[in-house]
Structure 1
Amino acid sequence: MSDNYNFDEIRERIIENLKNVFDPEIPVNVYDLGLIYEINFEQRDAGLYCVIYMTLTSPACPVAGTIMEQVRLVTQAVEEVNEAKVHITFKPRWTNDMVSEEGKEIMAASGAVI
């Protein structure tokens, strides 16, 4: 594996994977919900380390651990990523204004309301 990483390309593949992670109660993926705040990279001796900062729609989310683990796993599924860590933050607090246009269309079509 080369140490010359194309971080933009890797970030895009991570985002593609994140679009397969859903809150079980909302028909929109975590990326289009606006729950992913940052995707950062750090090169280490063992390879590429990725840190994701994300939030949840509610601090009392009953499936927070499951969603975080899914985010970690789909991030590590990108070939260049050797290790991933997911951090939850509530700063800023999530609002439905953070939902992407695509996410809003999916919610409207499904009748989902947040």
Structure 2
Amino acid sequence: MSTIFDLEEIEKKVIENLKKVYDPEIPSNIFDLGLIYNIEFEQKNNYLHCMITMTLTSPTCPVADSLLEQVKYVTLAVDEIDEAFVKLVFSPPWDPSMMSEDAREIMGASGAAMPF
């Protein structure tokens, strides 16, 4: 008998966890910054795999490895997910227009310079 997953609910949990991951140089979480391009799920038998496609504000980001590990860790923290994969891409390149309105407000209120 195959397990039925509520992927919409699981995606909400993944997003909630991704919003806890911050680039140490920018006062906003990676989800609101627009660094997460895609969240996909694949069910294999009774196992659920999650694939996150993401980017960085810069290809030379000094904390890239740490951020990728954090993304994998918080994704696996969702009980229903058995395996997580993080794919780093630079196309399309990130730019500030990808930020949520919340991220723009936080950046403006903190006086943070735009990451360019």
TM-score range, shorter chain: over 0.9
Residues 1:31 and 2:7 aligned together = no
Residues 1:77 and 2:73 aligned together = no
Residues paired across the two proteins, number: 113
In 2, Cα distance between equivalents of 1:14 and 1:111: 29
Kindly provide the amino acid, as one letter, of the partner of residue 84 in structure 1: A
Following superposition, the deviation at residue 40 of structure 1 comes to: 0.3
Kindly provide the amino acid, as one letter, of the partner of residue 112 in structure 1: A
SS of the equivalent of 1:97 reads helix
Identity %: 55
Tell whether the 8 Å contact from 1:52 to 1:85 is kept in structure 2 after alignment. yes
* TM-score of the aligned structures, taking structure 1 as reference length: 0.96
Superposed counterparts of 1:1-114, under 5 Å: 3-45=3-45, 47-114=47-114
In 2, Cα distance between equivalents of 1:110 and 1:3: 45
Q: Which runs of 4+ in 1 moved over 4 A?
A: none
In 2, Cα distance between equivalents of 1:3 and 1:27: 39
Tell whether the 8 Å contact from 1:39 to 1:53 is kept in structure 2 after alignment. yes
Q: Residues 54-106 of structure 1: CA distance to partner in whole angstroms, max 9, x if unpaired?
A: 00000000100000000000000001000101000011000000000011111
Q: Which runs of 5+ in 2 are unaligned?
A: none
* TM-score of the aligned structures, taking structure 2 as reference length: 0.94
SS of the equivalent of 1:81 reads coil
In 1, Cα distance between equivalents of 2:96 and 2:61: 15
Q: What is the root-mean-square deviation in Å for CA atoms of aligned residues?
A: 1.0
Tell whether the 8 Å contact from 1:46 to 1:82 is kept in structure 2 after alignment. no
Following superposition, the deviation at residue 45 of structure 1 comes to: 3.0
Q: Residues 24-65 of structure 1: CA distance to partner in whole angstroms, max 9, x if unpaired?
A: 000100000000000000001351000000000000001000
Following superposition, the deviation at residue 113 of structure 1 comes to: 1.6
